[in-house]
Structure 1
């Protein structure tokens, strides 16, 4: 029988009660489901994820879609670029089959809803979150560089505004590896939470003097694992920390030891199981 690895709780809230980090589904429950599809996000919510993470890119006709790569080779088997295609063209593509290419030959595989594998617009994802029967947060990453520059952040803030989510108390926070993008969000929507993503540990000394004290810092788990001084410096500076992409018990323990407030994972159900087993 499979045993759940033992996780040691490390943080407490101000009342002394034990707390746990927010579990954020990275591109949905993407370990077992095709990333950024409606099916992956529905599965993540069914598994109990506290929040959903997505990447957004702008189509040629001005729609924000949830796609990570600038080209579509990996997830839709076409060499096209998201930024040069209209939404109607993207809507003709299959964004799900790549995850299980032999499924149609498996007589025991469950039938797949073709609609669940279509390109997902940010608006549709927001509508699902707004209609869900419990509070769900969103971590939305804008991808750069892009031919549309700051228009991506402008369209994103406008779309959040349509839901009343562009001010204080919004369930959404905006993330980017681009300092310019983070600054644009701060100008466009000063009350939205901003996450400055950090790709390499040696980038932090350069970013530290120019990153607003109120911003959340988002390092990758690989950098925290290989450069433990990064985590120590962030904790010492009193920074709120959100970590990507946390998929194993060992990596979760690093996060708990640092007292991070969110873990972004391809395996939200596994993270919740591990956290449930903690002392």
Structure 2
């Protein structure tokens, strides 16, 4: 049986953003409580990534936040798929095994059989599932052109009191985050980086984001402390080993993205990924 890691103070779940006119918040952020667990691609070690089976497995493991990747189809739909092509995930027996998501229509993608007999879902499917479970969603915009339709879909589907609480749009593309901010200023945005260089903070401030999303093995010493001093929250990805989880805790990260939320919760001694 795995022993729980000792937990240093991190952040409580974050509510609606209340962003401030293109500037990062000035007030310092003080973490309180263990990090929240985010199910990467639904829980990619629990079921094939970015499938409805993975998202259901992530929720069943207790995750209250799901992460998914979104790409724009040729006819303007939002496919939940990480790669720019279907090659890696398509089953050998699929009627279509190759092709770029951007070059295919929704109808064509719906014909694609993924490994294990799964199908490519669309963003509305994931939002509906999360909404029914009371869970939040981190939506990674893989291409800047998808930013506006993603924001509009969130606005259409996530309605009601505190509908956006915990939701976030995340991206490596600053222009995508800027577009989302204009349409949905109350939804958190996270700038993704492989390395926590100081220039990242300038980008975050310029687009008015509130989160830094850093690769766990690319965090420089003191980066999370600096982010908190600036009033930002920090998510680290993708945490799948004891060493990486220990590093995430030591860094002071607010949320931890993992392919196995059940494992992460057990290691943290939470009993479930819910937090």
**Bin for the TM-score computed over the shorter chain:** 0.7 to 0.9
Pick the aligned partner of 1:91 from 85, 99, 110: 110
Paired positions, count: 246
| Cα pair distance change 1:266/1:214, threshold 3 Å | same
Structure 1 unmatched runs, 5+: 98-113
Matched, 1:246 2:236: no
Q: Contact (CA 8 Å) 1:177, 1:199: kept in 2 or not?
A: no
Deviations 1:31-70 (A, max 9, x none): 1310011111111111101210000001111110110000
Give secondary structure in 1 for the equivalent of 2:46. coil
* Separation in 2, partners of 1:57, 1:153: 9
Gaps of 5+ in 2: 13-29, 92-96
DSSP 3-state at the match of 2:264: helix
Q: Compare 117-126 and 205-214 and name the one that shifted more.
A: 205-214
> Which sits farther off after the overlay, 247-256 or 64-73?
247-256
TM-score (normalizing by structure 2): 0.81
Please provide the CA RMSD for this pair: 2.5
Corresponding residue of 1:126: 127
Q: CA deviation at 1:238?
A: 4.2
Residue 215 (structure 1) aligned with residue 201 (structure 2): no
Q: Normalization by structure 1: what TM-score? A: 0.80
CA deviations over 1:122-181 (Å, ceiling 9, x no partner): 10111111222xx2110000003xxxx43x111111111212459965042100011111
Aligned residue for 1:48? 62
State which of 250, 258, 268 in structure 2 corresponds to 1:257: 250
Provide, for residues 165-198 of structure 1, a one-character-per-residue CA deviation record: whole Å limited to 9, x for no partner. 5996504210001111111111121111000111
SS of equivalent to 1:33: coil
- The equivalent position to 1:158 in structure 2, one of 152, 166, 186, is 152
Aligned to 2:227, the other structure's residue is in SS state helix
- Quote the Cα distance in structure 2 between the aligned partners of 1:254 and 1:74: 30
Aligned match of 2:139: 140
Q: CA deviation at 1:8?
A: 1.3
- 1:222-233 aligned at under 5 Å gives the runs 222-224=217-219, 227-233=220-226
Segment of structure 1 superposing worse, 179-188 or 233-242: 233-242
Instruction: Give the equivalent residue in structure 1 for 2:184.
Output: 189
* SS state at 1:208 partner: helix
Distance in 2 (CA, whole Å) between partners of 1:82 and 1:91 is 11
User: 1:237 Cα shift?
Assistant: 3.8
